[in-house]
Amino acid sequence: MADDKDVLRDVWFGRIPTCFLLNQDEVTEREAEPYYLLLPRVSYLTLVTDKVKKHFHKVIRTDDAEEMWFEYEGTPLKWHYPIGVLFDLHASNTVLPWSITVHFKNFPERDLLHCPSHSVIEAHFMSSIKEADALKHKSQVVNDMQKKDHKQLWMGLQNDKFDQFWAMNRKLMEYPTEDGGFRFIPFRIYQTLSDRPFIQKQFRPVSPEGHVHTLGDLLKEVYPVALPNEGGPKRFQVVIHGIEPLLETPLQWLSEHLSHPDSFLHICVIPVPSD
């Protein structure tokens, strides 16, 4: 059996082959070639697409180039969700490479956050880590860290340095053995068809009676629709990092191993493809 630590590495180095295409309505001086990248699942679109911007800036008039944003089949892609979440939510069960359309005008103010610099992403990322630690440790771990420690987490993500990130992140994953897990599990459940961006509630890894809570227990409590009916056909897939973990998997284990670098366990509930 593989060491559980290998799972951390596998999650970190998950990649999605992606083809960036310029929106046809953009005015170009010559034909825009598509641009291909392997996108890290755990990163953010606007953090890893400087090369994409540079590539398309070569063919569009500089005066016409406003803030770059991305769209997939008509849906503007929220840069503040991890890339893997965007893919699982909108593009699961489709053919690779993932085909993303690049825009430089008509920024969809209603749907997207502006992202003028990487510092905006950093602030968002650190805010998530802090919120997660409020749930896990009443903020004690993140507050005990120094500024350079916070920076190490961010630089680890920004520069794709697994060891640098995890040297610090392991502190955020610790808990007293007698507790059996974190205070609450930081999770977010995303659905494709909902007005609400995601479901987020307080949920403990262990029941008051000492039973270990599983992924199935969580869904039963906060989003029972996602679970298959007794004997009925399966309607939804519950996807984390592109895979469907067993519903019997302990939630604490998932939180420690399948959380994104922002410390949240991002769970996508998507309809089973009809074929």
Residue ranges that bind another protein, judged by CB under 8 A = 78, 80, 109-116, 119-120, 122-124, 126-127, 130-132, 134-135, 138-139, 143, 150, 186, 195-198, 200-202
Cβ closer to another protein: 130 or 220? Answer: 130
Quickly count: other Cβ atoms within 10 Å of residue 47's Cβ. 18
Cβ closer to another protein: 67 or 160? Answer: 67
What whole-number distance in Å separates Cα of residue 71 and Cα of residue 108? 10
With tokens 């939510």, the residue in question is 89
Cβ closer to another protein: 35 or 154? Answer: 154
- CA 243-199-96 angle, to 5 degrees, is 30
Residue 8: is it exposed, middle or buried by C-beta count within 10 angstroms (0-12/13-18/19+)?
buried
For 129, list phi and psi in degrees, rounded to 5: -60, -40
Cβ closer to another protein: 136 or 257? Answer: 136
What whole-number distance in Å separates Cα of residue 239 and Cα of residue 221? 17
Cβ closer to another protein: 15 or 80? Answer: 80
Sheet holding 187-191, edge to edge: 187-191, 265-271, 236-239
- The nearest distance, CB 158 to another protein, in angstroms, is 13
- Look at strands 265-271 and 236-239 and give their pairing: antiparallel
- The nearest distance, CB 129 to another protein, in angstroms, is 9
What whole-number distance in Å separates Cα of residue 58 and Cα of residue 60? 6
- The nearest distance, CB 49 to another protein, in angstroms, is 17
- The nearest distance, CB 69 to another protein, in angstroms, is 12
- The nearest distance, CB 260 to another protein, in angstroms, is 15
